[in-house]
A and B are shown apart, each in its own frame.
Chain A
Amino acid sequence: GQQLNQSPQSMFIQEGEDVSMNCTSSSIFNTWLWYKQEPGEGPVLLIALYKAGELTSNGRLTAQFGITRKDSFLNISASIPSDVGIYFCAGPYGGSQGNLIFGKGTKLSVKP
């Protein structure tokens, strides 16, 4: 079945540093979604991308829809302690329903 591969699996960074993570697939996706999950909570949608090459920002977060349509990237600038959490990429797979498939996540830890 389809899989989304996220890297890195985890990151330990200093407050103020920039962060980059990515998500790749063996199949073409028409939509890429990025979620953040804080400890003890459900995932929350951060950014949605619908067009190859699209670059979308949400505050200090910027995500890009790869030109090949098989990858997506998420960058966080000037990280702060509240950026801690697990970041998931997701995309619709199969048939007309297009249920979301999720990557296994990138766990971000920020040291003050």
Chain B
Amino acid sequence: NAGVTQTPKFRVLKTGQSMTLLCAQDMNHEYMYWYRQDPGMGLRLIHYSVGEGTTAKGEVPDGYNVSRLKKQNFLLGLESAAPSQTSVYFCASSAPGRGVGYTFGSGTRLTVV
């Protein structure tokens, strides 16, 4: 039972480069999320999706884009990476509804130099 799988696990980018983080879930969850985690800041929501073909902005969306072309996949893109985007990125998924617990992936550690 894979749950939520994130690729890659680690990546180093140069400022200005672009990349896409992939999240895949096998639980048939409707909702998917991208969070970033920085020391002392907790988890902050970047973008989320409530279904295939839909996306919405979270708390810190600037500099990121997302796509949900298939229900099981949620992609996070950085068009022009900046050092401020150095962080650990977590994808999560859940069933619909308020207060439903999320299942998280194991994270992608991104460093922008």
Q: Contact check, B50 vs A100: say whether CB atoms are below 8 A apart.
A: no
A-B contact pairs, 23 of them (CB 8 A): A1-B59, A30-B99, A31-B99, A33-B101, A40-B106, A42-B4, A43-B43, A43-B90, A45-B101, A45-B103, A88-B42, A88-B43, A91-B99, A92-B98, A92-B99, A97-B50, A98-B97, A98-B98, A99-B45, A99-B58, A100-B45, A100-B102, A104-B41
Measured as residues with beta carbon below 8 angstroms from the partner, the interface class of chain B is 20 to 34
In the complex, which residues of chain B have a beta carbon less than 8 angstroms from the beta carbon of A99?
A: 33, 45, 48, 58
B104 beta carbon closer than 8 Å to chain A? yes
Q: When A42-B104, A42-B107 are in contact, do A96 and B98 touch as well, CB less than 8 Å? A: yes
* 14 more CB-based (< 8 A) A-B contacts, given A41-B107, A42-B4, A99-B48: A33-B99, A42-B106, A43-B90, A43-B104, A44-B104, A45-B102, A45-B103, A91-B99, A97-B48, A97-B50, A99-B58, A101-B45, A102-B42, A104-B40
Residue A66 lies at the interface, judged by CB distance under 8 Å to chain B: no
CA distance A45 to B50 in the complex (A): 20
Q: Give the dominant DSSP class at A's interface.
A: loop
A48 close to B (CB within 8 Å): yes
Q: Which residues of B contact A (CB under 8 A)?
A: 4, 33, 35, 40-43, 45, 48, 50, 58-59, 90, 92, 97-99, 101-107
A20 CA / B97 CA spacing, docked (Å): 29
A43 surroundings in chain B (CB, below 8 A): 43, 90, 102, 104
Q: What CA separation (Å) do A1 and B58 show in the bound complex?
A: 12
> Contact check: which of A48, A96, A102 meets B43 at CB < 8 Å?
A102
Verify A104–B99 contact, CB threshold 8 A: no
Q: Which of A1, A44, A91, A104 contacts B42 (CB 8 A)?
A: A104
| B102-A41 in contact (CB<8A) | no
Shortest Cβ distance from A105 into B: residue: B42
